[in-house]
Structure 1
C-alpha cells in the first residue's frame, strides 16, 4: 500500500506554526494526538536550546488553551497541550486518512506521513487546500507486509539469501551456495526464490497509481503550482526536484 510524506507549510495563526517560526532551531515532535472539530489534545516532545523561552511563548499563544509540562530534561520537555485550532488533525479526520505519529514540525513546516490508497491521499490534499494549507509531495513509496504475502518457508529462505549476500551487487553467495547452506536442492531454492520475487514485485506494481498523485489531486479540483512538470516527478519514490502544490 502506498505511503506518502507531505511537507505542509503551516499558515500563521496556529500555535505550532507561530512558535516554531519564532524558534526555528527548536523541534516539536507530536507523540500522540486526539482531534475534534473545535479542539485538539496532544502530547509533544519539545527540544530546544532554551526550553523555558519556548514554553513561555506557548503559554502566551491565544490558540493554546492549556500547556502542562509532564517531564523535563536538559534541552527537552514533554508537554501536554490543548489547542482550539488543530488544522492537520481536522484535515486528516475529514479525509478519512489518519496522520501517522510521531509528527515532526520545525520552523513552520510539518512532515506528514500517511498510508492509504492514492484516492485517500488526494482527498487529504483537497482538505489541505480547502483549509488554506500549502504543501508539497516529498516522497511516495510502497509499504509491503511480508507476513501477509509470504509463507514461513519463503520468508526464511528470503531472509537467509539476503543475509548471505545473494542479492548484493556483486553477489557474495551464488544460488548453489545458498541452497547448500539451507540444505535444499538448487532447483527447489531457485523456484522458491522466484515465487518470492514474483509475489513481492506484483504487490509493488499492483499498488502503483495508474496516474501520478498530482494528477489525481487535479482531478479532485486542486491545482499544482508547477504544472505538467510535477506529473513526471511524483511517479517515482525519489525525484531530483519535488513538486509544490498550492491552494
Structure 2
C-alpha cells in the first residue's frame, strides 16, 4: 500500500538548515522536473534576509556556481550545482524508492513530505536514518488512496501558525484590528517574515483552488 508520510528532521541534517538560525528566513527546495542531466538545484528563500543569503551557500559542501536567479518581494530564488542526493537524508529516500514531494524549513526543523511504496519500506527508511545518526519524527502517515487534499494539509506548520494567528487577531477583518508588526511580535519574527508566510499561504490557497477546478 502506497503511503504519504510527513517527517520532521533536525535543521542540522541539511547544510542550509543551520543558516536558517542565523538569517531571518525560511528555506524551501523547489520541486522541478529535470529535463537535463546538468539541471541545477533550485532553492527558494523567504524573509527579509533572502537576497543576502548567497553567503550561506559557502557552508554547503561540494557546492559551486551559486547564482541569484531573481529577487521577489520578501524572497529570492537561487540556483546551485548541489546534488541533494549526496546527503544521507536523501540517499535514504532514494534507496527505499520513496519520492520527495516537499522539503521546507519550519522554525526548528526540516519538514519533508514523502510518497513511499509500503509500510515495510517506511520501516527500512526509519532504520537507515537512525543508523546514520538522523533523528526523524513521523508526524503523519496516510494511505495514498485515502488522502483528501485540503488547504490545511498543504500548508507548512509556520504558514498555518501565521494564518491562524492573523485570523484570531482580526488581521482579515474589514477594519483591521492588528498589524504585521504586532503579529511578528507574537511569533517572534519580523513583519517581513510574517508577510512572506501569509503570502505563501495565499499562494497555496490559489494553487489548490486551481487544481480542484480542473
TM-score range, shorter chain: 0.5 to 0.7
CA distance in 1, matches of 2:65, 2:18: 16
**Aligned residues of 2:26 and 2:47 also touching (Cα < 8 A):** yes
Gaps of 5+ in 2: 34-38, 148-214
Q: 1:41 to 1:94 in 2, by over 3 A?
A: farther
The answer on 1:66 being equivalent to 2:71 is no
**Aligned residues of 2:11 and 2:105 also touching (Cα < 8 A):** no
Q: Which residue of 1 aligns with 2:164?
A: none
Q: Which residue of 2 aligns with 1:119?
A: 120
Q: 1:134 to 1:22 in 2, by over 3 A?
A: same
TM-score by length of 1: 0.48
**Aligned residues of 2:16 and 2:60 also touching (Cα < 8 A):** no
**Aligned residues of 2:51 and 2:75 also touching (Cα < 8 A):** no
CA distance in 1, matches of 2:125, 2:8: 13
CA distance in 1, matches of 2:82, 2:108: 16
Q: CA RMSD in A?
A: 2.8
Q: 1:132 to 1:108 in 2, by over 3 A?
A: farther
The answer on 1:11 being equivalent to 2:12 is yes
CA distance in 1, matches of 2:65, 2:20: 17
Larger radius of gyration: 1
Q: CA deviation at 1:57?
A: 2.1
Q: CA deviation at 1:8?
A: 0.9
Gaps of 5+ in 1: 35-39, 147-247
**Aligned residues of 2:103 and 2:112 also touching (Cα < 8 A):** yes
SS, match of residue 17 in structure 1: helix
Q: Which residue of 2 aligns with 1:48?
A: 47
Q: Deviations over 1:111-157 (max 9, x none)?
A: 111223111111221221122111111011222179xxxxxxxxxxx
The 5 Å alignment of 1:58-97 reads: 58=57, 60-63=58-61, 64-83=63-82, 85-97=86-98
SS, match of residue 145 in structure 2: coil
CA distance in 1, matches of 2:100, 2:9: 12
Larger RCO (CA under 8 A, 6+ residues apart) = 2
TM-score by length of 2: 0.55
The 5 Å alignment of 1:1-247 reads: 1-11=2-12, 14-23=14-23, 25-32=24-31, 41-58=40-57, 60-63=58-61, 64-83=63-82, 85-100=86-101, 102-107=102-107, 109-115=109-115, 116-144=117-145
Count the aligned residue pairs.
138
Give runs of ≥4 in structure 1 deviating > 4 Å: none
Q: Deviations over 1:145-188 (max 9, x none)?
A: 79xxxxxxxxxxxxxxxxxxxxxxxxxxxxxxxxxxxxxxxxxx
Q: 1:16 to 1:33 in 2, by over 3 A?
A: farther
